[in-house]
Structure 1
Amino acid sequence: MAAIKVRAFEQQDVGAVLVLMRALAAFEGYDDKFRLTEADLVEHGLGPSPRFGVFVAEREDVIVGIAVHYLIPWTYDLKPVVWLKELYVAEAARGMAVGHALVEHLRQYAAGIGASAIKWTVLKSNLSAKAFYHALGGQPDDIWEPWQLKIDP
Structure 2
Amino acid sequence: MLSRDMTIRAAMPDDIPALLKHMRFLAEFEDYIREFDVDEHSLLARAFGEHPECHIFVAECSDGLAGYAVGLIIPFTYDLKCTVVLKELFVDAGYRGHGVGSALFRHLAAWTLAKGGGRLKWDVMAGNHQAEAFYKKHGGTPDQKWIPYVMNEEALQNLQK
> TM-score, structure 1 length as denominator?
0.96
1:37 aligns with: 39
Q: Which runs of 4+ in 1 moved over 6 A?
A: none
8 A Cα contact 2:89 2:101, kept in partner: yes
8 A Cα contact 2:83 2:119, kept in partner: yes
Q: C-alpha displacement at 1:2, in angstroms?
A: 2.8
Q: C-alpha displacement at 1:61, in angstroms?
A: 4.6
SS in 2 for 1:45: helix
Q: C-alpha displacement at 1:129, in angstroms?
A: 0.3
SS in 1 for 2:85: strand
SS in 2 for 1:106: helix
Q: 2:125 aligns with which of 123, 126, 146?
A: 123
Give the whole-Å Cα distance in 1 for the aligned partners of 2:8 and 2:52.
19
Give the whole-Å Cα distance in 2 for the aligned partners of 1:50 and 1:57.
20
2:91 aligns with: 89
Q: 2:151 aligns with which of 146, 149, 152?
A: 149
> TM-score, structure 2 length as denominator?
0.92
The aligned amino acid for 1:124 is: A
User: Over aligned residue pairs, what C-alpha RMSD do you find?
Assistant: 1.1
Q: Deviations over 1:49-78 (max 9, x none)?
A: 100010000122510101011101102110
Unaligned runs of 5+ in 2: none
Q: How does 1:59-138 map to 2 (within 5 A)?
A: 59-138=61-140
Identity %: 40
Q: Deviations over 1:65-113 (max 9, x none)?
A: 0101110110211000000000000011100100000001001101111
